[in-house]
Amino acid sequence: DVKVTQSSRYLVKRTGEKVFLECVQDMDHENMFWYRQDPGLGLRLIYFSYDVKMKEKGDIPEGYSVSREKKERFSLILESASTNQTSMYLCASSSQFTGFEAFFGQGTRLTVV
């Protein structure tokens, strides 16, 4: 089974803090993604990576950055957390060899106060 693991289920951070969300997958997938999910808006793509050290902006990259130093790990960084970044964050991975079907982690619910 594909396993995508996010480091935290729940996080509470203060405005202005630098926040790191970590994601690890164990299926050697080349593609990894960070989405945020908000009620009524579905999932919106923040950043994705199709190879180690490669990254591309998604639809809503402002206020975020990412790091992919190893194939299995993809980190999302909130440079200076703001209250409008309170959301559910979902990490996913996929491979061209399985039709780009995305497999999701359990999600991190981030609250910025």
- Between 15 and 96, name the residue whose CB sits nearer to another protein: 96
- Between 28 and 101, name the residue whose CB sits nearer to another protein: 101
Two structure tokens written together for 64: 């975020």
- Between 31 and 75, name the residue whose CB sits nearer to another protein: 31
CA distance 75 to 67: 5
In the numeric block, the tokens 């908000």 are attached to 38
* Site residues (CB under 8 A) for another protein, limited to 52-111: 58, 90, 92, 94, 96, 99-107
Site string for another protein, 18-57 (x = CB under 8 A): -------------x-x-x----xxxxxx--x-x-------
Residues linked to residue 78 through DSSP beta bridges, in sequence order: 19, 64
Q: Could you tell me how many residues of this chain bind another protein (CB under 8 A)?
A: 25
Two structure tokens written together for 73: 């790990």
| Interface residues toward another protein, by CB under 8 A | 31, 33, 35, 40-45, 48, 50, 58, 90, 92, 94, 96, 99-107
